Amino acid sequence: MSDTYKIGLGNNDTDIRKKADSDFVSFWNDQAKNLTWFSPWKKTLDWQPPFARWFVGGTINASYNALDVHQETKSQKPAILWEGEDGDSRILTYGQILTEVQKFSNVLKSLGVEKGDRVTLYLPMIPELPIAMLACARIGATHTVIFSGFSATSIRDRVDDSKSKLIVTADGGYRRGKIVKLKEVVDEAIKGFDFVKNVVIVERTNNEITMTSKDRLWNDLMNNASDSCPAEKLDSAHPLYILYTSGTTGKPKGVLHGTGGYLTHLYSTFKWAFDIKDSDVFFCTADIGWVTGHSYVVYAPLLHGATQIMYEGAPDFPDASRMWDILQKYKATIFYTTPTALRMFMKFGDDIPNSFDLSTLRLLGSVGEPINPEVWRWYYKTIGKEKCPIIDTWWQTETGGMLISPLPGLETIPLKPGSGTRPIPGVNITVVDENGKDVEPNTKGYLVVKNPWPGMLLTLWGDDEKYKTVYWSKYENCYYPGDYALKDSDGYLWLLGRADDVLKVAGHRIGTAELESCIVSHDDVAESAVCGIPDEVKGEVIIAFVVLKESVTTENKILEKELVEKIRTDIGAIATPKQIYFVSKLPKTRSGKIMRRLLKAIGNNEKIGDVSTLEDGAAVTEVQAAFDEIQKSIKESN
Ligand code: PRX
């Protein structure tokens, strides 16, 4: 934890931190002035804990700030340099995107979508996805994007919860050379949903589709649409989007983000963390189906009138050189990716990236999970050639944008491999113990945020009570993100993984409760417990323990296949366990609760600790034996 890298861009605006520390409300008030508002706000922050409303009384539009404001100077500037997995490419300028967005806004209106309605987007990484999002934002409809790897059942739950009137999908998308038939999945997902009035289909793959009475083709609608649609003047707190994310209990929750505060947060953090300049070519590898794609593919780069690369497919398709090839081809200057992707690239060896010209790069970002120091150093040396700062950004779907990150656009401070350094200005973050008391330096505790920030979620869609209990009940008037952290003696923060029952597999958030209830809904299963174990590339992978009903005679191999199939159908392939293990009982407390802590400890090869509350010690022996066997078989298969 000790080596530091004294690198930076030489920028040093010490005033900003001083201002932010002395009065965070007036600090954010100044930041909001970077955006274009239709009418000014009357109050900067209305804080009725735990509900924050920023820039009250102001009216604004996200699509207007992303597109219209650039037309005078940048209508010919490329906004998106798109590359399909199959080698297809498209360049969309700020002028062209505005035209497309206005047309699609009119399409939405013609199909009966009004301000306040929800629209579900289930699309591959193609330009029509940001276009549809910005069109929703333009007319005040709330978009809810679903990652294109999710299953029909997952879509059904989300569409039902948001009561979306309209769905935009595609005939298919390319992934590892194969066509993923998205429209078929949507057909299955919305069976019997009368409230879904229309489905708009983008033709991406020319894969044959069966049209239903609700279906309309994107091109047919766009050909007849007018290209003029003024942006709605929306309240600052107007719901821009719902994004579903996994938590510790039940089904995924709808995180609801507003407009004025969220955009202010993105504008500022993008400038501070990535020091964005007009000449930059930014490349974020996140899928727009996740929050990183919402915030730092769609909104933040466009707010700044930046040029960015958008790539459709798998990062290692057709081979391990794809990312470096894209960076070289488009002369990227800023690259933002995940530790999982970096660990995979690192495994492929240095010769591949070394054979590309990556000299245009000047900043390298990381997001989504803790970055191991050795991976950080590899990124710094092999990709950045020891001249690009590593911007390790910590944040969440709920926070809207970065909360902890090195900020080379603002200040020059030494970096430490594996630390996100310090909070952004205007947020007060600390590490506390179980009782909410600040822990001593270098002591592991829980990360908390002590004041509201502009990108903060408005609430959970339709569930204010859950919003209060999930994030604001552990510590009084503090936001609890569910992460372990420590602060070192220089005040640097080190993020140490989730403190709750949320898993991070390849950076994707998966709730253990959701997965367990899916497994238990199989007819032959009595009980189940899942947990994560460390994995060299994915950070962690899922292991599932399953107790079968007594009467079951089906072979384990067959059941295993059925369970995997069920998980893929109910949730999606990303939730598939690496191993499913059948045991006769699970370690439980005397009051009948599964001792997850214990499973996790065994999986991590840690000391088991106090098991005095355990009901039956034999279960531990069985689970331990299961793990040993799993680890043996993983070793053999590597
Ligand atoms: O555990 C933290 C981890 O990802 C969680 C948030 O996941 P999600 O909502 O899917 O958003 C991911 C993209 C912003 C956090 O609670 N996490 C995110 N970034 C980092 C991280 N852990 C360590 N270091 C990071 N830089």
Average pLDDT over residues 139-155: 97
CA dihedral in degrees (451, 453, 457, 458; nearest 10)? 80
Residues 6+ apart with CB under 8 A from 518: 566, 567, 570, 571, 575
C-beta 368 within 6 A of ligand 1: yes
Q: Whose CA is nearest to atom 26 of ligand 1?
A: 394
Whole-number Å distance, alpha carbon 369 to ligand 1 midpoint, is 5
Whole-number Å distance, alpha carbon 202 to ligand 1 midpoint, is 32
Residue 320: count of CB within 10 angstroms of its CB: 16
Cis ω for the linkage preceding 423 (within 30 of 0)? no
Whole-number Å distance, alpha carbon 357 to ligand 1 midpoint, is 30
User: What are residue 168's DSSP bridge partners?
Assistant: 121, 200
Per-residue pLDDT tens over the stretch 525-567: 999 999 998 999 999 999 999 999 999 999 999 999 999 999 9
3-state secondary structure 447-504: EEECCCCCCCCCEECCCHHHHHHHHHCCCCCCECCCEEEEECCCCCEEEEEECCCEEE
Q: Whose CA is nearest to atom 12 of ligand 1?
A: 368
**From the alpha carbon of 404, which atom of ligand 1 is closest?**
26
Instruction: Report the Cα 310 to chain-centroid distance in Å.
Output: 16
Whole-number Å distance, alpha carbon 504 to ligand 1 midpoint, is 8
Asked whether residue 6 carries a pLDDT value surpassing 60, the answer given is: no
Whole-number Å distance, alpha carbon 368 to ligand 1 midpoint, is 4
Question: Left (φ > 0), alpha (ψ -120 to 50) or beta: where does 116 sit?
Answer: left
**From the alpha carbon of 495, which atom of ligand 1 is closest?**
23
CB-based burial label for 208 (10 Å; 0-12, 13-18, 19+): exposed
Instruction: Report the Cα 152 to chain-centroid distance in Å.
Output: 20
Q: What is the CA radius of gyration of the chain?
A: 24
**How many Å apart are CA 336 and CA 334, to the nearest integer?**
7
C-beta 245 within 6 A of ligand 1: yes
Per-residue pLDDT tens over the stretch 35-61: 999 999 999 999 999 999 999 999 999
Q: Is the separation of the CB atoms in 539 and 339 below 8 Å?
A: yes
**How many Å apart are CA 295 and CA 297, to the nearest integer?**
6
**How many Å apart are CA 424 and CA 176, to the nearest integer?**
38
User: What are residue 447's DSSP bridge partners?
Assistant: 431
What pLDDT score was predicted for residue 626?
Answer: 72
Average pLDDT over residues 625-635: 69
Q: 155: number of CA atoms within 13 Å, CB side?
A: 32
The angle subtended at Cα 356 by Cα 353 and Cα 359, nearest 5°, is 100
Residue 435: count of CB within 10 angstroms of its CB: 6
Q: Whose CA is nearest to atom 21 of ligand 1?
A: 369
**How many Å apart are CA 571 and CA 20, to the nearest integer?**
42
DSSP 77-101: SEEEEEE-TTS-EEEEEHHHHHHHH
CB crowding 535-572: b at 16 or more within 10 Å, else e: beebbbbbbbbbbbeeeeeeeeeebbeebeebbbebbb
**What does the mean pLDDT of the chain come to?**
94
Whole-number Å distance, alpha carbon 514 to ligand 1 midpoint, is 19
Place of tokens 């609801």: 256
- Phi then psi for residue 635, to 5 deg, are -60, -45
**How many Å apart are CA 406 and CA 272, to the nearest integer?**
8
Asked whether residue 107 carries a pLDDT value surpassing 80, the answer given is: yes
Average pLDDT over residues 115-119: 98
* Domains within the chain, CATH numbers bracketed: 94-232 (3.40.50.980), 503-637 (3.30.300.30)
Q: Is the separation of the CB atoms in 365 and 391 below 8 Å?
A: yes
Structure confidence at residue 452 as a pLDDT band (50, 70, 90): very high
Structure confidence at residue 405 as a pLDDT band (50, 70, 90): very high
Per-residue pLDDT tens over the stretch 475-486: 999 999 999 999
Per-residue pLDDT tens over the stretch 270-327: 999 999 999 999 999 999 999 999 999 999 999 999 999 999 999 999 999 999 999 9
Asked whether residue 634 carries a pLDDT value surpassing 80, the answer given is: no
**From the alpha carbon of 371, which atom of ligand 1 is closest?**
24
DSSP 528-597: EEEEEEEETTTEEEEEEEEEE-TT--S-HHHHHHHHHHHHHHHTBGGG--SEEEE-S---BBTTS-B-HH
Average pLDDT over residues 174-192: 96
Q: Whose CA is nearest to atom 6 of ligand 1?
A: 396
What pLDDT score was predicted for residue 587?
Answer: 84
Per-residue pLDDT tens over the stretch 352-379: 999 999 999 999 999 999 999 999 999 9
Instruction: Report the Cα 201 to chain-centroid distance in Å.
Output: 25
Residue 524: count of CB within 10 angstroms of its CB: 15
Which pTM value belongs to this model? 0.95
From the DSSP assignment, how many helices (H) and strands (E) are in the chain?
Answer: 21, 30
What pLDDT score was predicted for residue 2?
Answer: 47
Q: Is the separation of the CB atoms in 180 and 173 below 8 Å?
A: yes
Residues 6+ apart with CB under 8 A from 146: 120, 121, 122, 154, 155, 158, 244, 289
Asked whether residue 636 carries a pLDDT value surpassing 80, the answer given is: no
Q: Whose CA is nearest to atom 2 of ligand 1?
A: 369
Tokens found for residue 354: 């070394």
- Phi then psi for residue 469, to 5 deg, are -75, -35
Whole-number Å distance, alpha carbon 370 to ligand 1 midpoint, is 8
Diameter of the chain by CA atoms? 73
Q: Which residue has the higher pLDDT, 636 or 19?
A: 19
Q: Which residue has the higher pLDDT, 633 or 437?
A: 437
C-beta 495 within 6 A of ligand 1: yes
**From the alpha carbon of 295, which atom of ligand 1 is closest?**
14
The β-bridge relationship of strands 118-122 and 142-145 is parallel
Whole-number Å distance, alpha carbon 396 to ligand 1 midpoint, is 5
Q: Which of 490, 472, 489, 468 is CA-nearest to residue 481?
A: 472
Residue length of the chain: 638
Mutate to test the pocket of ligand 1, among 369, 415, 457, 510 (most ligand atoms within 8 A of CB): 369
C-beta 337 within 6 A of ligand 1: no
C-beta 509 within 6 A of ligand 1: yes
**From the alpha carbon of 392, which atom of ligand 1 is closest?**
26
CB-based burial label for 193 (10 Å; 0-12, 13-18, 19+): middle
